[in-house]
Structure formats: C-alpha cells, structure tokens
Amino acid sequence: MFHTVLIANRGEIALRIIRTLRRLGVRSVAVCSDADAGARHAREADVAVRLAGGYLDIEAVIEAAAATGAQAVHPGYGFLAENTAFARRCAEAGLVFVGPPPEAIEAMGDKIRAKATVAAAGVPVVPGAAEPDDDLLTADIGFPALIKPSAGGGGKGMVLVRSAAELPDALESARRTAAAAFGDATLLVERFVENPRHIEIQVLADAHGNVIHLGERECSLQRRHQKIIEEAPSPLLDAGTRARMGAAAVEAARSVGYVGAGTVEFIVQGSTADYYFMEMNTRLQVEHPVTEMVTGLDLVELQLRVAAGEPLPLAQDEVRLRGHSVEARVYAEDPARGFLPTGGRILALQEPAAPEVRVDSSLAVGGTVGSDYDPMLSKVIAWGPDRASALRTLDDALAATTVLGVTTNIAFLRALVTHPEVVAGDLDTGLVERRLDELVPGASTPEDVLAAAALLLQHERAPAAPADPWDVPDGWRPGSPAAWTAWRLESRDGVAGIGVRGLPASGAEVLLPAGESADGTEPGAGRTVRARLEEDGSALLVTLDGVRRRYAVARDGDAVWLGRDGKAWALTRHHLGDPGDRAGAAGAGDGVVRSPMPGTVLVVKAAAGDRVEEGQPLVIVEAMKMEHTVTALVAGVVAELPVRAGQAVDMDAVLAVVRRDGEA
C-alpha cells in the first residue's frame, strides 16, 4: 500500500477519499484552488497545496505530488478523472494513477469508438450515427433521437430532439457545449428509447486478468440527464437479467484491457428489460455509496489496492448483495425557479446521524457556495433490509437535514422519494419531468413560518431583563386594549403582514393572515391564534394554535432563515415605504430582463436596436455546468443590452431592456 496519496479533486469526494486513506493509515495530500482555500477537504487532509491555476492545471498537480512525496494520485470523479493526458503525465512523473490505463480511458472516453469496441465484443448497442463518418443532419436514425458529445459525460450537452425541424438548433447548442466543456465538438446521435430506464453495472478489474461486477445501480430518476436518486439493486431486474447484464459489463471492460473500478451504463427498455450499452465511465461514480452499502465493500480501498498491484480479494461467486440502498443528491438549486443554481454562505447546518444512514458531504458552517463548481453539496444515503424500508429511512434522513443560507432541493427530494410511482418502483428517465408539478413545492410561505419569524422579531425587541416593568414591550396600555405590533415580512412570494400582541416567551397572540391598517401601524382583521416561543439552543420551539413545531434558525443581517422538515425559508423585515415587490423581480409585462442565476454570459443573441418577439432568446447564461437561455418578456425593441460574452453577472443583474411596442 502507498504511504502518501494526493487527491486531485475537491468537495465531498475528496473528503470521502480522505476517510478511507485515514482508515488505512495512508497520508493524504489535498489540492485546492484560491476559491477553495478554506474548504473542508483542504483543512482535513494531512497536507494541502494551493493550485494557482485551479484543479485542471496538470503540471501544478504533478509538482504538488512531487513536493509532498506522494506515490499515487487519486482523481476522484470529474476534473481530471477521465483525462488521458493526465493519466499519461502521472506515469511519466513516476506517479501511480489510481484509475484505468490511459488506453482504456481513451477507448471508452470516445463514445463512438466505445460503441464499436463493445459491439465487437458482443455487447448490444443502440442504433446511431456519429461524426466525422456520418452527416448527422441527414442520418436516418428516426425520431425521437438523442444528441451526445462524443467526449462528454454527466449529461452535459445532451439534447433530445423529437423532429427533424428541431435538429439544426439542437446540434448547434450541443456542439457549443461540447467544445466548451470537453474541448471537442464531435457529436453522435442515437435513437432515443422511449420510457427508458438507466441501469449501470459496477465493475472491478485488476492487473492480473481478473474482472468481476458488483451488481447494478438504478439511476432512472433524472432531470436534464442529471441523476438525482440512485439505488441498488434495481427494482426491475431479476436474477437472470442481472447475471446477463453483469456478464456483458465484464466483457465490455475486458475489451479495452480495463484495470480498476469502472461503471458500464446501459439504457434499458422498461417493458421488456432489453438492454443496450450506453457508455462506460472510467472512474468512480458519484453514486458508488449505494453499491458499498449493499456489498459491504469499500470501493476506494479496492481502487487503491488494485493500483498498488494487488489482485482482487474476491471472485464473482463471492459477491453478495444484502438489502437495499438509496442515495439522494443535495444540490444548491431552486426547484421553484426551474432548478436554477443558487449560492450563499452556510449559516446553519444539520446533517442526519442514524445507524443506517451515511452522509457524504463537504458542507461546513461559514462555508460559501459559489458558482465556480458543480452545485452538488452532499449525498444522503440510506440502507434498509428491503426497498420500502430504505426509502422510508432516506425520507426521514432528508427531513433531518437542514441547510440555512443557501436554497437547496431537499424538499423536492423528499417529494420524489415518497411519490407513489417511485415507491412502486415504476421508474423511467422521464418520470421526474412528467410529475414536476407534483414534486416541486409551492412558492408560498406557510402561515406557521411567517408567525415564527414575527414572534422571533418580537422576542428580540424585548430587553433581556428590563429594569422597569413599564419598559416591557408587551402591547399593554391603560384604558384600552393591548396594541398590536405589525411586522411586515418579505419572502420569495411577496410581502405579508403579521400582527403580534404580548410577549412571545410568556404567551402572545398572533393575527393571521397578514392584513394591515391604512397607515401600516396596525394589522387588519384576520384569524387570531395563541402562540408561544421557546429557545432550545440554536433552535426555536413555536407553539401556534396548540401545535408545537421546531425550527432551525439563523440570522444574516436583516434576513431570518427558518428551517424544518428539510425545508428552508428566508424572510426579511420589510419597512414601510420599501417597494412592495421582491428586489429584482420583474412585474407582469415588464421589459427588464434579469439574470435568473449568478454566472457568466456565454452568448449574446441580440443587439441594441433589434426588434424582438416575446419569448425570443436574448442571452445565454452559464453557471455550474448549466446553460440557461434568457428570453424577451415582451415584444418590442431592445433599448439596452449592457452585457457581453464572458462577463460575470450576479443573480437578478439586468441583461437587457426591451421597450414594448408603443412605449416612448
């Protein structure tokens, strides 16, 4: 075994590798960019080296390994994990690359070559066409069809087209993304399998000719070809199909002389269980923990032992699958705004701790989530003796997860893992898109959350120990009813007024819903309920109308963040005279076009003075490996276009102003 290993990655995967290295007694070396100088993986490794050029600077990584005495480099996933040049450069520098030989990465990294290679080995493949041999505009594949970057992965640049009319624009978009993300604009197109399931096989191979598989993972729950929920084993496969797909995956690995851990991905027809090779990921997968949970094996340890020249410690007939495991990916994104990436500073954090739950996370209070890297924050993984119990355990674990300061998809994940079709195992890659209206939580802030925020603000107004009882702001006044305190709270869905009368710590009244008097000094008529607020460490206990709820709480300037049951809300005190709409939100019919997320302007598709129609693309903004096309809200003439390609923009930054027809 190596004595020192450099991890050429960041975030939760770097921390996950550090955990295994520590258990094995191996010294860990982390690398970090300037943006990640204070990140958890840099703090928890034995040694950390800052890379001025970032994680893709191959020569800087090699120099860091040499300077710290590392014998091997583990690339994790993403960044350099499937970079043939990096694998070769490690070998030249006398470093062991913890991954497959460069030739295997090269063969499987080119989807066109990979299909031909595995087809020659007898593995079934989907019909398709590929550049440069074929003209994709005239290829007779039929529709629907799926365009893919030949050098790509992770769903980036993949575009579904349902007619020949859509093909030219789709090819242009996919080619642009492929060139930017992978440095190679070569594309291929395949017949799209309707109602498909995405099932992948985990393979392991050593340098002594042994190749085995560790069963399958079902990854059919996706959005925009990005996996959200993964599980092992698949609820679709029977033992016979599992054995056949496993054997096909083993042959695919053998066909390229594979060594190490890898994943062979198949597209599977849900009604027939017919399967076709899709691609091979020549690295550790994000979803590898579910395989570890059902096999009891540490895949990172096995990677390291194989890279050190050891043979695999078990044969195929010794692989045992026990129980069921499900993983959910927690992203910094806003489901209510089309899953756009978010960001911010982590103000409060609670992650589940239970016997059958594992959390792979890089989160830490005070850490900043920016737009430089992928928006995945953590993974919550649950195990159970059967699928139903694993799903219930995962839902409970997500409910116990609180992230305040950054909007996440946790509530969406809970809705997904408890959806009847998911519980029944009736999955396909289009399920999430079809059921999106059922899965995305409403934008409105619940009454109990508004009340809790108002009670907290009222409580904070009271002095801890007033010297004079007349100084207690309880609303009491001689000769007339106690006065209400009107709190106007701004959230994502607008401004609401809440009335509080009395002292929250000893018992108060709350007036719901939020009306107010003409001068804003008194709340209007509404439903009155009894309330009480108690502090419990960093949490609040609020009893409202006889129902007590616990909230995680954090403050960020004027903003109050509250969280419960996996959900989070940000509320800000709204003062009289402030605009009634949310900052940066465009009113109905407004011609001001704003950025929906922090990112970089990729393409400007109009110019000042152009006449545009409602819905016409104006600017493409990219953030966290995702493109978003921003369109004109009204028909008219572009009056202002203050951005240029390559420019960084904040959320709600003005991208364009369109003067509607008839406006001066």
Could you tell me the CATH number of the domain that includes residue 186? Answer: 3.30.1490.20
Same domain? For 142 and 41 the reply is no
- For 536, the 3-state DSSP assignment is strand
Q: Which amino acid is at 449?
A: V
Residue 553, SS3 per DSSP: strand
| Per-residue CA distances from 303 to 19, 62, 72 (Å) | 14, 20, 11
Which of 337, 349, 340 lies closest to 563 in space, CA to CA?
349
pLDDT tens string 43-55:
999 999 999 999 9
Among 376-380, 408-412, 494-498, name the one with the lowest average pLDDT. 494-498
Q: Is residue 111 part of a domain?
A: no
Instruction: Yes or no: say if 626 and 331 are a contact pair by the CB < 8 Å rule.
Output: no
Q: pLDDT tens, 155-183? A: 778 899 999 999 999 999 999 989 988 88
Check pLDDT > 70 for residue 94. Answer: yes
Question: How far, in Å, CA of 25 to CA of 16, rounded?
Answer: 15
Between residues 426 and 625, the one the model is more confident about: 426
In a domain, 480, yes or no: yes
Same domain, 152 and 299: no
- Same domain membership, residue 351 and residue 234: yes
> What was the pLDDT predicted at 589?
47
Number of domains observed in the structure of the chain: 5
Residue 426 has pLDDT above 70, yes or no: yes
The answer on 464 and 385 residing in a single domain is no
The CA R_g of the chain, rounded to the nearest whole Å, is: 28
Same domain, 47 and 139: no
Confidence category of residue 662, pLDDT binned at 50, 70, 90: low
* 579 belongs to a structural domain: no
Looking up residue 453, the CATH number of its domain turns out to be: 3.30.700
Q: Express as a percent the part of the chain with pLDDT over 70.
A: 91
Is 432:439 a contact under the CB 8 Å cutoff?
yes
Same domain as 407, residue 362: yes
The yes-or-no verdict on residue 578 having pLDDT over 60 is no
What CATH code is carried by the domain that includes residue 351? Answer: 3.30.470.20
From the list 420, 430, 417, the residue with the least C-alpha distance to 231 is 417
Asked if 268 and 235 count as a contact pair (C-beta separation under 8 A), the reply is no
79 vs 70: CA distance, rounded Å:
19
Look-up of token digits 């990112």? 599
Per residue, the 3-state secondary structure of 215-233, as one string, reads: EEEEEEEEECCEEEEEEEC
In sequence order, the β-bridge partners of residue 265 are: 200, 279
pLDDT at 526 over 70: no
Q: Which of 113-127, 267-281, 508-522, 555-569 has the lowest mean pLDDT?
A: 508-522
pLDDT, residue 626, reads: 65
Instruction: Give pLDDT, residue 515.
Output: 47
User: Tell me, what's the pLDDT at 591?
Assistant: 82
Tell me the pLDDT tens digit for each residue of 332-364. Answer: 999 988 888 888 999 999 999 999 999 999 999
125 pLDDT above the threshold of 50: yes
Do 553 and 631 belong together in one domain?
Answer: no
Same domain for 202 and 327, yes or no, is yes
- CA nearest neighbour of 581 among 501, 511, 490: 490
Tell me the two tokens of residue 269. Answer: 């027809």
CATH number at residue 59: 3.40.50.20
Q: Do residue 414 and residue 484 come from a single domain?
A: no
Of 573, 606, 628, the position where a domain reaches its end is: 573
b (16+ CB within 10 A) / e for 334-362: bbbbebbbbbbebbbbebbeeebbbbbbb
Q: What are the distances in angstroms from CA 273 to CA 119, 244, 428? A: 19, 11, 12
Place of tokens 């007590």: 548
Question: What is the Cα 336 distance to its own chain's centre?
Answer: 14
Name the helix (H) or strand (E) containing 122. none
Query: Using one digit for the tens of pLDDT, what is the confidence trace for 263-311?
Result: 999 999 888 888 999 999 999 999 999 999 999 999 999 999 999 999 9
More confident residue, 435 or 443: 435
- Cβ atoms within 10 Å, residue 654: 16
Q: Are 601 and 552 contained in the same domain? A: no
SS3 205: strand
Average pLDDT over residues 589-612: 84
The reported pLDDT for the residue numbered 516 is 47
Domain end (from 390, 409, 439): 439
Please say if the pLDDT value at position 326 is more than 80: yes
Q: How many CB atoms lie within 10 A of CB 540?
A: 22
Are residues 310 and 247 both part of a single domain?
Answer: yes
Whether residue 368 sits in one domain with residue 277? yes
User: Which one has a higher pLDDT value, 413 or 488?
Assistant: 413
Is the pLDDT reported for residue 116 higher than 70? yes
**Is the Cβ–Cβ distance between 577 and 495 less than 8 Å?**
no
Burial of 176 (0-12, 13-18, 19+ CB in 10 A): middle
User: Is the pLDDT assigned to residue 109 strictly greater than 60?
Assistant: yes
pLDDT at 195: 83
- Read off the pLDDT band of 590 (50, 70, 90): low
pTM: predicted TM-score of the whole model, two decimal places? 0.81
In a domain, 578, yes or no: no
Scan for tokens 């096999």, then name that residue: 295
Task: Provide the domain limits for residue 208.
Answer: 196-439
Q: Is the pLDDT of residue 573 over 90?
A: no
Q: What is the pLDDT of residues 203-223, one digit of tens each?
A: 999 999 999 999 999 999 999
Q: What is the pLDDT, as a whole number, of residue 370? A: 84
147 pLDDT exceeds 70?
Answer: yes
Sign of CA dihedral 253, 257, 261, 262: negative
